[in-house]
């Protein structure tokens, strides 16, 4: 689930470059495109049940309020057109939201770094008792599930097996297992 969340958030971040291009060219569609992007992101975050959805909705509301003529105190006493203020507010909202999305992705990456290390330690010990069979070319999911189930028989690493089983959802666990086994296979000397 975390990998799915990470990929969904990364897909949204990839759109920010084209939005910034609109701002750079002073395209009048910039604000409405940012509002649409925030709306799409808000839907994804709601489906993923991430609390960041509240910030995204608030930033979307801030842009809409600026378009309706509301001026924040940060704008100052200058006489600026509603369009220019809306563009500026949309740019700042985009920056705030994409920074928070990147922080969520960084948190997911940090968790996976920890679990990757634990999975490597687990496999290093578990494979001394029972070697892992060579992988098929494709599909690997059934093979990975069989490998994972086979690692449960080793009494020395039973605690780590249970920890990884409880800490990771099955899809995340199998992805991580595949990655670590791939690294192990790549580190073997050629026959």
Share of the chain above pLDDT 90, in %: 53
Q: Which residues contact 12 (CB under 8 A, 6 or more apart)?
A: 37, 40, 41, 44, 101
Q: What pLDDT, on a 0 to 100 scale, did the predictor assign at position 137?
A: 65
Q: Is the pLDDT of residue 161 over 60?
A: yes
Q: Report the pLDDT averaged over residues 52-57.
A: 96
pTM of the predicted model, to two decimals?
0.80
91 — pLDDT class (breaks 50, 70, 90): very high
CB crowding 31-54: b at 16 or more within 10 Å, else e: bebbbebbeebbebbeebebebbe
Tokens of 65: 């309020």
pLDDT in tens, 125-159: 887 777 777 777 677 888 888 888 888 876 777 88
Share of the chain above pLDDT 70, in %: 95
Q: What pLDDT, on a 0 to 100 scale, did the predictor assign at position 57?
A: 96
pLDDT in tens, 18-51: 999 999 998 989 999 999 999 999 999 999 999 9
105 — pLDDT class (breaks 50, 70, 90): very high
Q: Report the pLDDT averaged over residues 155-184.
A: 88
Q: Is the pLDDT of residue 94 over 80?
A: yes
Residue spans of the domains in the chain: they are 2-108, 111-187
Q: What pLDDT, on a 0 to 100 scale, did the predictor assign at position 191?
A: 66
Neighbour-count burial of 100, counting CB atoms closer than 10 A to its CB (0-12 exposed, 13-18 middle, 19+ buried): middle
């Amino acid at each position: 689930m975390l990998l799915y969340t990470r990929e969904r958030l990364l897909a949204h971040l990839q759109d920010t470059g084209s939005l910034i291009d609109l701002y750079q060219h002073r395209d009048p569609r910039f604000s409405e495109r940012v509002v649409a992007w925030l709306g799409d992101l808000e839907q994804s975050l709601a489906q993923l049940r991430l609390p960041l959805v509240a910030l995204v909705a608030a930033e979307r509301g801030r842009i809409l309020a600026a378009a309706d003529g509301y001026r924040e105190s940060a704008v100052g006493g200058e006489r600026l057109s509603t369009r220019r203020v809306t563009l500026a507010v949309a740019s700042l909202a985009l920056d705030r939201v994409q920074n928070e999305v990147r922080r969520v992705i960084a948190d997911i990456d940090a968790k996976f770094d920890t679990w990757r290390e634990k999975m490597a330690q687990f496999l290093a010990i578990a494979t001394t008792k029972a070697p892992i069979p060579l992988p098929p070319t494709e599909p690997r999911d059934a093979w990975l599930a069989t490998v994972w189930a086979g690692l449960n028989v080793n009494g020395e690493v039973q605690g780590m097996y249970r920890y990884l089983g409880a800490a990771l959802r099955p899809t995340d666990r199998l992805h991580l297992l595949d990655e670590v086994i791939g690294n192990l296979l790549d580190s073997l000397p050629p026959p």
